[in-house]
Amino acid sequence: MKKILLLLILFFTFPAYADVVIKYDEILKIRKALNQYYKLGVLIHKEFDLSNMGELRACVANYGNLRNEVKSIQEKVKKLNGFSYRFSLSLASQAAFICVYCGSSGKTCSDIPIEMEQVDSMLIEAGKLP
Q: What is the pLDDT of residues 99-128, one digit of tens each?
A: 999 999 999 999 999 999 999 999 999 999
Give me the residue spans of the domains in the chain. 24-125
Give the number of other CB atoms < 10 A from CB of residue 97. 21
pLDDT digits (tens, 9 = 90+) for 51-110: 999 999 999 999 999 999 999 999 999 999 899 999 999 999 999 999 999 999 999 999
Contact at 8 Å (CB) between 38 and 98?
no
Q: What is the pTM of this model?
A: 0.82
